[in-house]
């Protein structure tokens, strides 16, 4: 292009820019569709597993062995009429579910499914994950307030208090991981576990804290107090129906997939194989992810719901002090044994000093 006139060079640059932006848009749309379809079939997996644990059939009519049940449910919710209370705030009422679902999808931009990195390989990816999980509660609060319903408002306030109680514990877990890797980049976590070992071996107490915090963050049983049907009818989305309810429903399951992916990345080497690389890295990521998803379903089927005072007491009196203790003991261990990651973290170097 050196011999081309300046006008032609500018035109070619413009064309290349348009093509790259078009390809980026297409890839984002494909990721969105794939993730939405995965969330839809996650609901089918949950219903099948719960049915098996409760000795009943589960979905088995729509399609072969019920495989088309998520498609039928989606079509039903889309075609139903969208209802809104007369005294509700119209704008905020419809923005809340869109905001909640959109924030739930954003976390997947920094989650690596391959050792090469994520779609957005940023150095503060773990902070980004904490931020997206924290901001999601704003959609729930907006939904509770905009519905102009006591039940919805109480459910939203419960969700905010629950999120605050367990977000701190999860933050100390991430700080412990930062001490091990010297990086907040999810790709750095993978490289750190590649050159040493999976962090589950040393940080299994932090893993327990993260599991409890993840159950509370996603409002899953036994911590599903924001939408406790025996107390609040349906909680913050009691006034929602059709597609707006579906967005809240999809956001909840997307959060579960996100927490499962974070556990896979932080403690189990993300796409790293167990023993041999006979399968590609995304296969191992999906394999570990499915096991954690099954764990969420298993907890729902086997553990009864906590009271709200028990939930808050568990978070502030036990989980938070335990997470701080893990952080302090890990820092002392690394200092005494002179074990620390390389300068800049494992993202920039795979050597480490003992």
Q: Which residue has the tokens 């098996």?
A: 52
pLDDT, residue 208, reads 93
Residue 339 has what pLDDT? 74
Instruction: Return the CA Rg of the chain.
Output: 22
Q: Which of 96, 105, 132, 117 is nearest to 185 (CA)?
A: 117
| φ, ψ of residue 246 in degrees (nearest 5) | -60, -35
Domain residue spans of the chain: 1-78, 80-336
- The per-residue pLDDT for 351 is 39
Measured CA to CA, the distance from residue 285 to residue 268 in angstroms comes to: 9
Burial class, 218, CB count within 10 angstroms (exposed 0-12 / middle 13-18 / buried 19+): buried
Distance CA 237, CA 235 (A): 6
Ramachandran assignment for 120, one of left (phi > 0), alpha (psi -120 to 50 degrees), beta (any other) = beta
Task: Give the span between the Cα atoms of 38 and 111, in whole angstroms.
Answer: 16
| Both tokens assigned to 339 | 């074990």
The count of other CB atoms within 10 Å of the CB of residue 297 is: 20
β-bridge partners, 353: 340
Q: Which two tokens stand for residue 354?
A: 């003992």
Buried b (16+ CB within 10 A) or exposed e, 306-335: bebeebbebbeeebbebbeebbeebeeeee
Whether the ω angle into residue 143 lies within 30 degrees of 0, i.e. cis, is no
Q: How far apart are CA 257 and CA 254, in angstroms?
A: 5
Instruction: Scan for tokens 């995304």, then name that residue.
Output: 282
Q: Tell me if 354 sits within 8 A of 339, measured CB to CB.
A: yes
Residue 229 and residue 47: Cα distance in Å, rounded? 18
pTM, full prediction: 0.84
**Calpha distance 98→94 (Å, rounded):** 7
Sign of the C-alpha dihedral computed for residues 297, 292, 318 and 220 taken in this order: negative
Q: What phi, psi does 196 have (nearest 5°)?
A: -120, -95
User: Is the bond preceding 222 in cis, omega lying within 30 degrees of 0?
Assistant: yes
Q: What is the pLDDT along the chain (354 residues), one digit of tens a residue?
A: 555 555 555 666 777 778 877 877 777 777 778 888 888 888 888 989 989 888 888 888 888 888 888 888 888 888 888 888 888 888 888 899 899 888 888 888 888 777 666 667 778 888 888 888 888 888 888 988 898 888 888 888 888 888 888 888 988 998 888 888 877 888 778 877 777 778 888 889 999 999 999 998 888 888 887 776 666 667 788 888 888 888 888 888 888 998 998 888 888 887 776 666 666 777 888 888 889 999 999 998 888 888 888 888 999 999 999 999 999 999 898 888 877 666 555 554 443 333
CB 226 within 8 A of CB 159: yes
For residue 226, give the DSSP letter: G
Handedness of CA 44, 54, 264, 280 (dihedral sign): negative
pLDDT for 349 equals 42
């Amino acid at each position: 292009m050196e011999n081309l006139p300046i006008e032609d060079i500018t035109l070619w640059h413009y064309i290349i820019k348009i093509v790259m932006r078009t390809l980026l848009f297409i890839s984002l749309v494909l990721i969105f569709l794939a993730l939405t379809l995965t969330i839809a079939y996650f609901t089918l997996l949950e219903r099948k597993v719960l049915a098996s644990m409760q000795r009943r059939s589960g979905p088995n009519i729509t399609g072969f062995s019920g495989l088309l049940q998520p498609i039928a449910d989606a079509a039903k919710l889309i075609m139903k009429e969208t209802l809104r209370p007369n005294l509700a705030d119209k704008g905020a009422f419809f923005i809340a579910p869109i905001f909640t679902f959109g924030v739930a999808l954003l976390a997947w931009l920094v989650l690596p499914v391959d050792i090469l990195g994520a779609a957005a390989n940023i150095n503060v990816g773990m902070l980004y994950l904490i931020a997206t999980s924290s901001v999601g509660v704003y959609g729930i609060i907006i939904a509770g307030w905009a519905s102009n319903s006591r039940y919805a408002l109480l459910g939203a306030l419960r969700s905010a208090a629950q999120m605050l109680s367990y977000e701190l514990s999860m933050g100390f877990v991430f700080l412990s991981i930062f001490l091990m890797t010297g990086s907040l980049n999810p790709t750095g976590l993978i490289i750190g576990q590649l050159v040493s070992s999976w962090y589950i071996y040393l940080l299994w107490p932090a893993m327990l804290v993260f599991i409890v915090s993840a159950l509370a963050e996603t409002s899953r049983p036994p911590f599903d107090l924001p939408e406790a049907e025996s107390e609040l009818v349906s909680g913050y989305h009691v006034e929602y129906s059709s597609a707006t309810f579906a967005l809240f429903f999809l956001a909840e399951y997307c959060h579960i997939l996100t927490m499962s992916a974070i556990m896979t990345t932080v403690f189990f080497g993300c796409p790293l194989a167990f023993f041999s690389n006979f399968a590609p890295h995304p296969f191992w990521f999906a394999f570990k992810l499915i096991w954690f998803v099954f764990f969420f379903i298993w907890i729902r089927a086997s553990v009864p719901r906590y009271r709200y005072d028990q939930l808050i007491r568990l978070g502030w009196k036990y989980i938070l002090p335990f997470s701080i203790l893990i952080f302090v003991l890990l820092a002392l261990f690394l200092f005494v044994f002179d074990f620390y990651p390389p300068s800049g973290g494992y993202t920039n170097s795979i050597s480490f000093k003992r």
